């Protein structure tokens, strides 16, 4: 079936092989994106969570479609993954502080726009591998490319909904989610072309960096939270004395 500029649907072994490959890629790589979306919308009222997940994932995938056409070249640009890794690490700490259920510093109510902004920034930063994998599996067929990127929406939405519900029941998932995002940030930093040229890190170094960042996100979040609590307590004490 000729779809013009969108490519061809051929119904042969190569087409279906590409289709199955894209399906598997979406299933495997949807996890990290679902984690950041679930953590980002957790501070929203329950009635707004599904809308936040849907619109955040939709906006992110729309940008993925645009970026996929030059993502292979973008990944080779120095400092792109380094900056992206730092950004993801900061987002991980921020989401951990907002999501952790322990008593502590006052937390500002998050709007849907704020949640969507975090979702889009984190999703685009983390989705370079996803976009590259789908682009490769599509073998230049625009229909398969758009199908693969579009298919990631329901996967991410369903997984994010499930995770946001589980986070309410089992707060330990917030710690796991923050650690996963920290690992992703560390992996992006250590695999940036500039860092690779400078350090030429082996597998053990890469794994060590990922572990350090996974733990470091939680430690940094805890320390930052304790600092905020201490500052607020001092401010209250000064206010009471005056």
pTM, two decimal places: 0.65
The confidence score (pLDDT) of residue 6 equals 45
The confidence score (pLDDT) of residue 219 equals 93
In the chain, what are the helix, strand and coil shares in percent, each to the nearest 5?
Answer: 80, 0, 15
Biggest alpha carbon–alpha carbon distance for the chain: 80
The confidence score (pLDDT) of residue 29 equals 58
The confidence score (pLDDT) of residue 66 equals 72
Within 8 A by CB and 6+ apart from 61, the residues are 149, 150, 152, 153, 156
Domain coordinates in residue numbering, the chain: 12-241
Q: Per residue of the chain (242 residues), give pLDDT as tens.
A: 544 444 555 556 666 777 777 776 666 556 667 777 788 787 777 778 888 877 877 777 777 667 766 665 565 667 777 887 888 888 888 878 776 665 554 454 467 777 777 777 777 666 666 666 666 666 666 677 777 777 777 777 777 778 777 877 888 888 888 888 888 888 888 988 888 888 888 889 999 999 999 999 999 988 988 888 788 777 777 766 66
The confidence score (pLDDT) of residue 213 equals 94
The confidence score (pLDDT) of residue 5 equals 46
Within 8 A by CB and 6+ apart from 127, the residues are 29, 33, 60, 64
């Amino acid at each position: 079936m000729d779809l013009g500029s969108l490519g061809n649907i051929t119904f042969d072994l190569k087409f279906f092989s590409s289709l199955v490959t894209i399906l598997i890629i979406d299933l495997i790589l949807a996890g990290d994106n679902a984690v950041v979306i679930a953590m980002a919308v957790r501070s929203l009222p329950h009635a707004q969570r599904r809308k936040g997940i849907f619109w955040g994932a939709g906006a992110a995938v729309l940008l993925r479609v645009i970026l996929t056409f030059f993502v292979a070249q973008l990944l080779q640009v120095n400092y792109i993954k380094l900056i992206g890794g730092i950004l993801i690490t900061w987002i991980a700490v921020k989401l951990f502080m907002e999501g952790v259920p322990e008593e502590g510093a006052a937390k500002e109510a998050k709007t849907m726009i704020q949640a969507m902004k975090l979702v889009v920034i984190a999703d685009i930063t983390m989705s370079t591998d996803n976009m590259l994998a789908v682009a490769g599996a599509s073998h230049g067929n625009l229909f398969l490319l758009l199908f693969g990127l579009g298919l990631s929406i329901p996967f991410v939405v369903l997984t994010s909904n499930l995770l946001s519900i589980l986070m309410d029941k089992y707060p330990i998932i917030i710690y796991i989610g923050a650690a996963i995002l920290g690992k992703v940030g560390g992996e992006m930093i250590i695999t940036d072309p500039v860092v690779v040229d400078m350090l030429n890190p082996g597998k053990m170094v890469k794994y060590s960096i990922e572990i350090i960042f996974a733990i470091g996100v939680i430690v940094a979040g805890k320390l930052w939270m304790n600092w905020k609590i201490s500052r607020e307590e001092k401010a209250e004490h000064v206010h009471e004395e005056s």
